[in-house]
Amino acid sequence: MLGRVNHIAIAVPDLVAATATYRDTLGARVSQAQALPEHGVTVVFVELANTKVELLEPLGDASPIAAFLAKNPAGGMHHVCYEVEDILAARDRLKGAGARVLGDGEPKTGAHGKPVLFLHPKDFNGTLVELEQV
> pLDDT tens digit string along 91-103?
999 999 999 999 9
Domain layout of the chain by residue ranges: 2-133
**Which of the following is catalytic: 54, 83, 130, 132?**
130
Q: What's the CATH number of domain 2-133, 3.10.180.10, 3.40.640.10, 3.40.50.20, 3.40.50.720? A: 3.10.180.10
CA separation for the pair 100, 34 (Å, rounded): 28
At 28-83, the pLDDT tens digits run 999 999 999 989 999 999 999 999 999 999 998 889 999 999 999 999 999 999 99
Cα 42 to chain centroid distance, Å, stands at 11
**Long-range contacts for 23-26 (Cβ within 8 Å, ≥24 apart)?**
none
130 included as an active-site residue? yes
